[in-house]
Amino acid sequence: MTSTDEEQYSHGPFSMTRMIYAVCSAIIFYKLLEFGGWSVLKKAQNIPWGLYRFDLWFHAINLAFVLAMLAVGLAYRPKADLFRWSSPRPTVGASRSIGLGLAGGVAALALASPIFWVGDKQLESVRSLIAHAFSPLRVIDLIVFIVALAVSSEMVYRGVMFRTLAGYATVPAAILGSGLLFAYVYPVLSFYAAIILGIASAILYYRTRNLLAPTIANALFTVGGGALTLYRGLHH
């Protein structure tokens, strides 16, 4: 990297300093809610509206994750650059990005299927939503849940983190670094399944230069994983 490139990244909107402050602050906030929220919920004697503690916990923590990711996006004053990587290399069109996202999601799901078949407790919230999706309201709940998780996580871990790391290190290192942190924080997948998704999403983002493909792959992977764990539970 030349000195001109280094100066551009250090002072531009996707500088390492800005990424560290924004992403780390959001992760710390989310983890505090994750570790503190469950202890408070366990002490509650009465849960309103007839909800189970487990269901309430997973919905609350996933909502906290989405809000934390959106806070990172607000720190970057959302513009087109947050969703499309403008570079000398042209971005891929929408139709091709959709196709690549579907193909990448299916490939990642196939690779992670042994993990889902053995069992993934982190997917219980998705599995529960799929199992009860027998009414339009439940279907809307599932769609909003999956889309919010996919869009917010891809915006931060690919649109911000991977893009920033790629300006300071090699692309493989940026893929691995963003994938590992994504796997550690993502609330609905186990660590190993999330690593597979994170790497696949980063490759798709690097290939297409937009967030459409990795977002589709993320949503497909999460729904497919939940469906596999549900089928496993019914089968056994």
**Token reading at 126:** 């998705």
pLDDT of residue 158: 94
Gap between the Cα atoms of 14 and 42, Å rounded? 41
> pLDDT tens digits for 75-92?
887 677 778 887 667 778
Handedness of CA 178, 103, 229, 129 (dihedral sign): positive
Gap between the Cα atoms of 197 and 199, Å rounded? 6
> pLDDT tens digits for 161-210?
999 999 899 999 999 999 999 999 998 899 999 999 999 999 999 999 99
> pLDDT tens digits for 111-163?
999 998 887 777 877 887 888 777 787 788 888 889 999 999 999 999 999 99
The conformation of residue 84, written as its DSSP 8-state character, comes to B
Phi, psi (deg, nearest 5) at residue 210: -150, 165
The conformation of residue 203, written as its DSSP 8-state character, comes to H
pLDDT of residue 197: 96
Amino acid residing at 143: I
Contact 212/147 with Cβ under 8 angstroms? Answer: no
